[in-house]
Structure 1
Amino acid sequence: MKLTTLTLVAALSAGAAFANPVAPADVVFDEYGAVEASLTGTAGDAEMGAKIMASKKMGNCIACHAVTALNDAPFHGEVGPELDGVGDRWNAAELRGILVNAKGVYDGTVMPSYYKVSGFVRPGDAYTGKAPKGPLDPLLSAQQIEDVVAFLTTLTE
């Protein structure tokens, strides 16, 4: 009886931990910048991840990266590395870490950190005085990050 109760409590606690997505400030990185734990506790949708990557209103990843699987989307960039085979080069935790905070993995990269909300330099104040004030929202939601990770892991050679 005690084992069953403990198992039930542990299962409910684990579920409760993922009832809400991990907040950007609470993301845990390993020493290399990887994020082992899912941000939502829900598997990503690879099809939605492809849409996010190709959408100018969401991730717009193809503005900088070429991706053969997204050839129907126009204007693939050459600023970042080609993403064909990325699922063989990095695992889901490494890809998640790069998406969450690219600058934490690659110092000096121009890739945006899609799930970071603090620590930004706001140069617009010096030029236009129109830099946003107060807290910023992440560029992508936790589930959108998981969706993109799911898509990227399908890009194998």
Structure 2
Amino acid sequence: MKHSILAAMALALSTGGLAAGEVAPSQVKYEDGAVMTSLTGTPGDAAEGRKIVGSKKLGNCVACHVVSDLADVPFQGEIGPPLDGAGERWSEADLRGIVSNAKMMFDGSMMPSFYKTEGFIRPGKAYTGKAADDTFGPLLSAEQIENVVAYLVTLKE
């Protein structure tokens, strides 16, 4: 029993805590900014994605984007384009790439990279004013990215 627990802990550490079949942030393959394959190997949950897009503690997409479907969420931003019709403007692969790392598709984008863990100039540890440590991870998990993409695909004009 003790050995199986230790083996499970070693496996979790070696994979960075990733679920089986999950693509690590540093292993995501971009093709002209799009990510063709799922980061988890399973379809996302649009209802959960809706929660993430509207949550000020998770995706906080509404800080920069207007989403009519989330009219109950106050103080929506106008920095980024409205997300209404996102499912018609972009493919699922495009949306996955944009949410993962918008800068791969839109060079000068101010949108944060939600699934990136390296290549930063000076990452900090949350809001502590200290340098990042070994707990530094992406803003959203692979599953959360897939959930957001599943929701955005449903937004038609």
Q: How many residues align?
A: 136
Aligned to 2:119: 119
- Asked whether 1:88 is paired with 2:88, we answer yes
Deviation at 1:79, TM superposition (A): 0.7
Decide whether the 8 Å contact of 2:68 with 2:84 is kept in 1. yes
Helix, strand or coil for the counterpart of 2:87? helix
Give the 3 Å change call, closer, same or farther, for CA 130–34 of structure 1 in structure 2. same
Large movers: runs of 4+ above 3 Å:
none
Deviation at 1:123, TM superposition (A): 7.3
Structure 1 residue ranges without an equivalent (≥5): 1-17
Deviation at 1:75, TM superposition (A): 1.0
Helix, strand or coil for the counterpart of 1:122? coil
Deviation at 1:20, TM superposition (A): 2.9
Helix, strand or coil for the counterpart of 1:47? helix
Query: Cα RMSD between the aligned structures?
Result: 1.8
Equivalent residues in 2 for 1:5-154, closer than 5 Å:
19-30=20-31, 32-122=32-122, 130-134=130-134, 136-154=136-154
Between the aligned partners of 1:151 and 1:63, the Cα distance in structure 2 is 17
Between the aligned partners of 2:28 and 2:84, the Cα distance in structure 1 is 27
Between the aligned partners of 1:121 and 1:138, the Cα distance in structure 2 is 15
Deviation at 1:130, TM superposition (A): 2.3
Aligned to 2:12: none
The superposition leaves residues 6-29 of structure 1 with CA deviations (integer Å, 9 ceiling, x where unpaired) of: xxxxxxxxxxxx833111111111
The TM-score normalised by the length of structure 2 is: 0.81
Sequence identity percentage:
60
Helix, strand or coil for the counterpart of 2:116? coil
Aligned to 1:15: none
Deviation at 1:135, TM superposition (A): 6.1
